[in-house]
Amino acid sequence: MDPVVIGVDSSTQSTKAAVVDAASGRLLAVGRAPHTVTGLGGARESDPEQWWTALAEAVAAGLKEAGAEPAAVGGLAVAGQQHGLVVLDAVGRPLRPALLWNDTRSAPQAAALTAALGARGWLERTGSVPVASMTAAKWRWLREHEPRTAEAAVAVRLPHDFLTERLTGTAVTDPGDASGTCWYDTAAGAYDSGLLDLIGLDAALLPDLAPTGAARAGTLTAPAAEALGLPAGIPVAAGTGDNMAAAVGLGLGARGLLDHPVLSLGTSGTVFAATRTRPATAALAGFAATDTPGTYLPLGCTLNCTLAVDKVAALLGLDRDDAAPGGETVLLPYLDGERTPDLPGASGLLTGLRHSTTPQQLLGAAYEGAVFTLLRALDELPGADGSAPIRLIGGGARGRTWVETVRRLSGRAVVLPRSTELVALGAAALAAGAAAGDDPVGIATAWGTGDGETLPPAHQDHAAAARIASVLDRAAPALLTTQGHR
């Protein structure tokens, strides 16, 4: 059998392992294994050991479905959910469940960190302003609420770091995922010692930083090989965060597409583009790209996207595509608080009901509220071109109503990549790059994983956008923020 590489997408809800033909980029199979997320109110936690078990299950399932022999695997890489806080003991075991990116309990700590330097100070040093999602705020929360656990920590890892270290025995991270911590200086390409002092984190607890590009973390150890059913010695890439991996899979980067906006519709929603400019606004996270020095991945993220809209559909007893434009109704589906705009204590808001309002319009209003929030963040991207086509990815990109709502509210052409597992495919390109010592963005571009169908612009619904903007700008601060953060 021809050589294959495995790209792992370890997300909030599941692990996917894509088995990919290393020469052509053809997706041969995807193995899957679920995760469990626990927590009430603003808490969102998962046991990292579950991620390791799921990785082994997904790899085994993917190889079986592809009919691939383990000996054919030439490289492996993990892309993981960003921002999560994993604290380990001396033998690499988790001291507690990981605090996930969408755990909003750390909102007060994020506010305190922001106040310490001011938004401008944080933007100049990291390109981002702390919000509840960022790992720095989670570490501060742990120190304040569980000081014994924080004091016992021998290592602090991001989710993908934890898995890569299990695979290779090497503690290493990459610039892309590190840039989501708020203790990494994206301009200098290094941990910021002053910020670590402010946060109260010893740099000795952190993994080494791998260079950008086709970086190897090491090779598969014998114990990891036995757990995964693979030969020892397989090259393992340093990996990255899920958003950075999706950008690689789309061919975004200094040697690929620049300033090409992407809108991702998943449990959460994200907007991003590869640029040479770091953003200077608190509305975006100034992430680094994982592929090339000097390339940034400015990103806006919303907590409430497909999951929130599906919840509204379930409450109404409707199929998710049984929707109509919202008419006078505005529904901001901020069911889990919100990150962009920064309203961690928010709840959903419904206004504009009439006797004539139908259930289908209520559902359509939920779609509109979620999409408008993402499009507003999209407008903040450096050098944003309001007429450029939008690449639409994620689970929602396969939903008719999601696609049509984006087209109607944006008035822009929409590109629908044929490949659906872009995070895993981006990780596979990182694996291929580490194995061959080649540029992963160039590999993904040659594979054509970002190519797809282009839908022409639709007539823009300016009235709907203006109606939602009016509610969000005037009513949201008063009606959505519950100052006692959960």
Q: Output the known binding site for substrate.
A: 82-83
Catalytic residue (one of 9, 103, 242, 342)? 242
Cβ atoms within 10 Å of 274's Cβ, excluding its own = 27
The H or E element spanning position 156 is: strand 155-157
What is the CA angle 225-230-231, rounded to 5? 80
Pairing of strands 240-241, 73-80: parallel
What's the rounded Cα separation, in Å, for the pair 132 and 13?
20
The H or E element spanning position 434 is: helix 422-436
Q: 217 — phi, psi (to 5°)? A: -80, -30
What's the rounded Cα separation, in Å, for the pair 117 and 314?
43
How far lies 35's CA from each of 48, 101, 481, in Å? 10, 15, 30
Binding-site residues, in ranges, read 82-83
Q: Are 388 and 351 in contact (CB under 8 A)?
A: no
What's the rounded Cα separation, in Å, for the pair 439 and 380?
29
3-state DSSP call for residue 154?
coil
Q: 402 — phi, psi (to 5°)? A: -60, -50
3-state DSSP call for residue 234?
coil
Q: Are 161 and 129 in contact (CB under 8 A)?
A: no
3-state DSSP call for residue 285?
strand
* Amino acid, single-letter form, for residue 218: G
DSSP state of 252: B
Q: Can you point out the beta strands (E) in 169-309?
A: 172-173, 184-185, 190-191, 208-209, 216-219, 235-237, 240-241, 262-265, 269-272, 285-288, 296-302
What would you report as the CA-atom Rg of the chain, rounded to the nearest whole angstrom? 21
Q: 431 — phi, psi (to 5°)? A: -65, -45
242 is annotated as an active-site residue: yes
Q: Are 156 and 175 in contact (CB under 8 A)?
A: no
What's the rounded Cα separation, in Å, for the pair 477 and 106?
20
Among residues 230, 243, 227, the alpha carbon closest in space to that of 298 is found at: 243
Pairing of strands 27-34, 14-21: antiparallel
- Residue 478, C-beta contacts closer than 8 angstroms, at least 6 positions apart: none
User: Looking at the annotation, which residues are catalytic?
Assistant: 242
